């Protein structure tokens, strides 16, 4: 009855204290089965598709324009695939398809599942940070990531398909759009994100393990890049729904 509420019915704003994104390159045939028919994979070198694990320390999430005391602080872990979509006007759009969302906030899980299709679940997220390193982990979700920042040049991950960080930056996210598909109605929900001060910085991955990604059975996945951004105002526009025709 209230399914229309899931279509991101109002703009939302937040402040990213920091976001760490690890992107994994996967042979395109392995990821094709995870996206709906309205989308196509965003491909590099005619072989690689990409899935990312993003952790975000968020401050003040609230409907856009509301006073700051309405905001909520939380950690978010999102798993998303880099995709392309051609809209009804024939415009090709780069974006993300979310396959799992986790948070340490029960309130965000409840509200997120009312106003989005992102299927939030609540988990434990632990943070340990020093001047140059950050460790995030979860016992319940079986993930752990340790990264280090440096003022010196950081090497690309050992088996990355990219030759340079400039190439890798194209698949660092976030991309302008997020897409959701309703298979029962063949409708596509498009949400556009708007950010400022977005300057991704390459980081060294000391250790990483994501139980959710392991469970997907992606046998040939390799770490392709890793970036951190800090202190970013961010907001999402009201969602736009359009009919997809096969």
201-231 residue pLDDT tens: 999 999 999 999 999 999 899 999 999 999 9
Query: 8-22, 45-59, 110-124: lowest mean pLDDT where?
Result: 110-124
The edge-to-edge listing of strands for the beta sheet with 143-148 is 126-129, 133-138, 143-148, 204-210
41-93 residue pLDDT tens: 999 999 999 999 999 999 998 888 888 878 889 999 999 999 999 999 999 99
> What per-residue confidence (pLDDT) applies to 4?
58
> What per-residue confidence (pLDDT) applies to 3?
61
The pLDDT of 1-28, averaged and rounded, is 84
The whole domain housing 236 covers: 3-243
What share of the chain has pLDDT > 70, as a percent? 95
Q: Do residues 44 and 82 make contact, with C-beta atoms less than 8 angstroms apart?
A: no
| Residue whose entry in the numeric block shows the structure tokens 């999102």 | 78
| Residue whose entry in the numeric block shows the structure tokens 């997020």 | 178
Domain with residue 24: its CATH number is 2.40.400.10
Count: domains in the chain: 1
Q: What global pTM score does this model have? A: 0.93
Q: How confident is the model at residue 5 (pLDDT cuts 50, 70, 90)?
A: low
Please indicate whether residue 77 or residue 119 has the higher confidence score (pLDDT): 77
> What per-residue confidence (pLDDT) applies to 83?
97
């Amino acid at each position: 009855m209230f399914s229309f509420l899931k279509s991101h019915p109002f703009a939302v704003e937040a402040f990213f204290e920091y976001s760490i994104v690890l992107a994994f390159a996967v042979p395109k045939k392995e990821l094709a089965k995870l996206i709906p028919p309205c989308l196509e994979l965003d491909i590099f070198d005619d072989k690689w598709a990409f899935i990312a694990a993003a952790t975000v320390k968020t401050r003040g999430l609230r409907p856009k324009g509301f006073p700051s005391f309405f905001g909520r602080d939380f950690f978010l872990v999102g798993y998303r695939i880099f995709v392309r979509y051609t809209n009804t006007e024939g415009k090709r759009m780069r974006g993300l398809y979310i396959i799992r969302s986790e948070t340490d906030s029960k309130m965000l899980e409840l509200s997120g599942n009312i106003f989005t299709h992102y299927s939030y679940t609540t988990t434990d997220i632990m943070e340990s940070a020093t001047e140059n390193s950050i460790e995030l982990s979860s016992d319940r979700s079986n993930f752990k990531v340790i990264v280090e920042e440096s003022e010196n040049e950081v090497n690309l991950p050992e088996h990355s398909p990219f030759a340079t960080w400039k190439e890798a930056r194209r698949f660092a996210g976030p991309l302008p759009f997020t897409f959701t598909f309703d298979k029962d109605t063949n409708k596509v929900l498009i949400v556009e994100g708007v950010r400022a001060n977005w300057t991704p910085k390459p980081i060294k991955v000391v250790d990483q393990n994501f139980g959710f990604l392991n469970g997907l059975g992606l046998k040939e996945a390799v770490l392709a890049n890793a970036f951190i951004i800090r202190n970013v105002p961010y907001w999402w526009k009201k969602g736009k729904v359009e009919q997809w025709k096969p």
